[in-house]
Structure 1
Amino acid sequence: MSLKEVYITRTAAFLPNNPVSNDEMEGYLGLINDRASKSRRIVLRNNGIKNRYYAIQKDGTATHTNAEMVSLAIRKLFEKNPTELKSVDLISCGTSSPDQMMPSHGVMVHGWLPESGNIEVVSPSGVCCSGMHAMKYAFMSIKSGMSTKAISSGSERLSRVLSADKFELEIQKLNELEENPYLSFDKDFLRWMLSDGAAVFMLEDKKSTDGPSLRIDWVEGISFANEIESCMYMAAEKMSDGTLKSYMDYEPQEMIEKSILSIKQDVKLLDEHIVKLGFNKLKTKFEENNLTNNDVTWFLPHMSSYFFEDKIYAQLADNGMEIPKDRWFSNLATHGNVGAGSIYLMVDELFNSGKLKVGDTILLAVPESSRFSYVFAYLTVC
């Protein structure tokens, strides 16, 4: 069986409501203990984010579900020919914030598309890498000839779990945040970083006839969970031995008192591992494919914060893979951290920017701190 080439032929995105500026955030997320956050200014200075999007109104009422946002992005793929949706034979959806535990996120997206056919739907779980896993599944399905037209997505809707009533009173001292920015990477830090939204790719076994396409040359994923304990987690509590205690093992009152459903992060592990592990693996992948930094026209790194930009740059340089900053592309400042959707939103903006030329290459890098997973992909404009 001969393997087919796989192309991203179209991209689309859906961002809910109007952008929310830094000064407007607490109007949506609320005040903890009726007091403005002392850490917000410091965290925002470090992460460099200026705007983000929330699928909620100021009173906390939801305006969109996660699945609905993905479906609206999918519909944008077919604005010129809505009936073409019927020809899709696979939908692969990644997110870390499904609207419910069951049914799966993917089938809920499919449920918003009643005019589509009875097709295969998959829902890779995880955090930031889940969107890339969704893309890789679609990529492998088309490459093997099992599908001819597939949609993959990355999306998040976390604004409701960031609201003030979901968080404990801030206990970090302002001077601690000033002395060590990593101390801001805890529950409160995530409130000023995460954003809602969805974006999608159309993957096909033939190039587009209407414009450029992105050939997916390879996708590489790796996990270090066999070596390192959990770093970011939700619906669990971290024990002294590094294991996680599930929300299912807590009494209802304990879940409230310990804010078990809040997102938490082990900042010491983040500092030690998040950049080094994945980009060392990337060096190996480049060596296997006889690639150098000169073979990268555009570098799209998923970053939760611009705090990591110079650290990634330094690690690449240490590995002999220095990529000049003028070849980097990010929309973190304008879109916020949309987790599994961030890399999709970056590709979508670059793809539709008019900046790409035939022969350009694009390196995608998505780190995930939950238990240190990484996915990299290499694309060629054609």
Structure 2
Amino acid sequence: MAEVYITRAAKFLPNDPVSNDEMENYLGLVNNAASRAKRIVLRNNGIKTRYYAFDQSGASTHTNAQLTAKAIEGLYGEGFGPEDMELLSCGTSSPDTLMPSHTVLVHGFLQNRNLEVNCASGNCCAGMNALKFGYLSVKSDGTRNAVCAGSERTSSWMLADKFNAEIENLEKLEEQPILSFKKDFLRFMLSDGAGAFLLENQPRGPLSLKIEWMEGYSYAHELETCMYAGGEKQEDGNVKPWSEYEPKEWLNQSLFAIKQDTRLLDQHILEKGAESLKLAIDKHHLASSEIDYFLPHVSSHYFVSGLAKSLEEKGAPILPEKWFMNLARVGNVGAGSIYLMLEELLASGRLKAGEKILLSVPESARFTYSYALLTVVSV
């Protein structure tokens, strides 16, 4: 089977970065009142700036598909152009339409050539699932190259008119910040943007990243839904879909707002993350000490110390100096976050031949986890 290399990475972040103080100028005020939880949520998630695909007047500047196409166009040049693309594989949790698929909308904006397409749905792991499809295609000699992308445009889901009035208890919020996550947490962390990789069966200079392996794990067989949109969670743990509600209830019950069962999140996200990461590295006989860069997608800096502790308890400790994140600068871009982290690391000039990079992406929707090991190759 062929070897697979990430030979280029590109990104697109729309408009100017939005600071914490500017956020509600863009998102609006819920019930015409400033959020009482905002200060605490931002203190815990550690995010300083994020990006929105609309301006302060509320006018859209880019769709999700346009964001993704812009990122992909950044891969062109020096021997690879739009007509050379053989496979397009994209993942997102916030597609512009239910139908057609996100990837064919992206392909429409690229206007390049007839090619194979794949669309990965879900949440944060959708970007990794899109990457794995491209990886397996190149590895099996199905294609010589693949363009893979992860993106989000969740800002429009976070606008004030999508949410009910704040009812959080500030005292409880101070005692256990995770209680705020059910509502306001998402408004003050989600960000728009897209990242893209070019995968090829040969490395390109000066540095390429060889994909050694990819692994995925789902705990949906034992854990109920945690994060959801387009439905309402019932007493029995199942989610009743929007299509089974009357249209007037879609707005009255905020069915299309993104929500989380924070109780489940607190109980399982770190435990299952550490457990699945240990399964992945043990399967491939990799000692955690061999990892030079650890790129964990975390939704909030609130989870960083807990994840480090959980990894140590599972026998897979990773030293703090090996962690590389850009959450504070770009916010949580969901399925696009791991692409944006790796693009920034690759462009930093820090990488050296032979170093190993571990990608780690959790997804709280039904507790899914994806991992990939990369080796830096010098050409």
- Percent identity, aligned pairs only, is 53
The DSSP-based 3-state class of the residue aligned with 1:46 is helix
| Cα distance in 2 between the residues matched to 1:211 and 1:10 | 10
Q: In the alignment, what sits opposite 1:217?
A: 212
Q: In the alignment, what sits opposite 2:59?
A: 61
Q: In the alignment, what sits opposite 2:103?
A: 106
Q: In the alignment, what sits opposite 2:164?
A: 168
| Cα distance in 2 between the residues matched to 1:32 and 1:372 | 30
Instruction: State which of 332, 335, 341 in structure 1 corresponds to 2:336.
Output: 341
| Cα distance in 2 between the residues matched to 1:79 and 1:32 | 45
| Cα distance in 2 between the residues matched to 1:278 and 1:226 | 16
1:293-332 matches, cutoff 5 A:
293-332=288-327
Pair 1:140 & 2:136 matched: yes
Amino acid at match of 1:74: I
1:88-127 matches, cutoff 5 A:
88-114=85-111, 116-127=112-123
My pick for the range that moved more, 280-289 or 343-352, is: 280-289
Q: In the alignment, what sits opposite 2:37?
A: 39
1:235-256 CA distances to partner (integer Å, 9 max, x unpaired)? 0000000000000111111111
CA RMSD of aligned residues (A): 0.9
1:148-169 CA distances to partner (integer Å, 9 max, x unpaired)? 1110000000111100001011
| Cα distance in 1 between the residues matched to 2:289 and 2:82 | 39
The answer (yes or no) to whether the contact 2:229–2:259 under 8 Å persists in 1 is yes
| Cα distance in 2 between the residues matched to 1:252 and 1:170 | 24
5+ residue gaps, structure 2: none
Deviation of residue 284 (structure 1)? 2.1
Instruction: State which of 260, 278, 283 in structure 2 corresponds to 1:265.
Output: 260
TM-score after normalising by structure 2: 0.98
The DSSP-based 3-state class of the residue aligned with 2:32 is coil
| Cα distance in 2 between the residues matched to 1:372 and 1:286 | 19
Moved over 2 A (4+): none
The DSSP-based 3-state class of the residue aligned with 2:33 is coil
| Cα distance in 2 between the residues matched to 1:64 and 1:84 | 23
Deviation of residue 80 (structure 1)? 4.5
Deviation of residue 320 (structure 1)? 1.7
1:170-223 CA distances to partner (integer Å, 9 max, x unpaired)? 111111211111101112110001000000000000000x31000000000011
Instruction: State which of 14, 37, 43 in structure 2 corresponds to 1:16.
Output: 14
My pick for the range that moved more, 311-320 or 14-23, is: 311-320
| Cα distance in 2 between the residues matched to 1:56 and 1:181 | 29
The DSSP-based 3-state class of the residue aligned with 2:195 is strand
| Cα distance in 1 between the residues matched to 2:316 and 2:224 | 28
Instruction: State which of 60, 73, 85 in structure 1 corresponds to 2:71.
Output: 73
5+ residue gaps, structure 1: none
Pair 1:85 & 2:82 matched: yes
| Cα distance in 1 between the residues matched to 2:165 and 2:240 | 22
Amino acid at match of 1:268: R
| Cα distance in 2 between the residues matched to 1:87 and 1:79 | 11
| Cα distance in 2 between the residues matched to 1:155 and 1:67 | 8
| Cα distance in 2 between the residues matched to 1:152 and 1:93 | 6
The answer (yes or no) to whether the contact 2:280–2:371 under 8 Å persists in 1 is no
1:97-136 CA distances to partner (integer Å, 9 max, x unpaired)? 000100000000000011x210001101100000000000
| Cα distance in 2 between the residues matched to 1:24 and 1:135 | 34
Deviation of residue 66 (structure 1)? 0.4
Amino acid at match of 1:112: F
Pair 1:194 & 2:167 matched: no
| Cα distance in 1 between the residues matched to 2:126 and 2:264 | 21
| Cα distance in 2 between the residues matched to 1:313 and 1:4 | 35
Deviation of residue 321 (structure 1)? 1.4
Amino acid at match of 2:130: A
Amino acid at match of 1:201: F
